[in-house]
Structure 1
């Protein structure tokens, strides 16, 4: 725990340094009501006590999500803003006239949240903090250009169990720590059900511990098919000028 406490201090310093390098004034983070965003929200406050903003963005969300986010805000007196995206979501879906594709429709929500965070960040000259942990990053359990569209990812080297320990150290309310992890994309959705493996199994795999063969294969498959999410937009391997020069030879 002492090592983790020191690492959290390091993360706080790192956030401040990166914001300074970017010539920005502070940070903004979206609060989902879950443990990862709670930890990042409290790191944001530690790094910038006066120049942080936590944003709650309900979009046909479970009421418990907002209750947990409000609990964290009130417990730690976080600077916050609530932006209800439900009507915006309805208008965009109606305009797009999409077929009833559950994931395509669900992923509009985190992409609207990304747009909201960047609009607020730019208006304050802040950077956007992401909330993905090592488990989620490895298997691509985030929405491309949604919750994956951020400036800094402070939890990227912490597995889920370490995030839970960090939450205890930072004073995250137990209601948030104990709730089943969920992306909140649809009713009764849980991370582990969708992933097909538990976070403990993912932790063990990433820590080099033994897991069942089927679990390892599932994790490796998820990592492989999500590789594009961890890369910048792909460019052609040959530049125009290089091609022209090749033709002239």
Structure 2
């Protein structure tokens, strides 16, 4: 299913997107050495409930998972890159943490992810990998607009990632959003320009470049959810929800501006 939102629904989507971004930034600020992943999940739950929004994850039960996800946010650490299920783990200095969050508010979903280093120890290669996913995300957004093809976005993302030297997995990638979290079209993180679905105003897309340092192969944890690099290599993941507009693309998952910004 591909949904095209009207102006009223798009306005609601902006509110949802800001909520997702604000929660992610709040969790990033609170994630320090000694923080438990279950604390992050509990804090996220409270912010979602306070906003009278709904988690897209708690009851999420796709074919590739094992039962309902049962938590409010994905917390992927170090070699974990996707669908990291919160568990009893205390963050250490130098951990590479990815937070991925999807929320529904007033009938519209927004989805976003950020990767960052916990504490003061930061390996240059980790920072470079995170920055590469952020540049790839920016390139994908720049390629989006009415009349562009899905392949244009995939090509832009993949060019940045491959030029940076990272293998690219095509099992999981970006996707449409709207009244539900995962919709068509699927957006792989590499591809051929000029191919695929033609974008039109009102379409919401979640673009999510992610990489593993030295492999494109995943393995699944015993929890049935958490996906890790097959080699144990570090990973990074960046994601925004965007809306296709009449003259380009609008990022919906930006934090609410603070006074003085």
In proportion to residue count, which structure has more helix? 1
Q: TM-score range by the shorter chain?
A: under 0.3
User: In terms of Rg, which structure is larger?
Assistant: 1
- TM value normalised by structure 1: 0.27
Relative contact order: is structure 1 or structure 2 higher (C-alpha 8 Å, sep ≥ 6)? 2
- TM value normalised by structure 2: 0.26
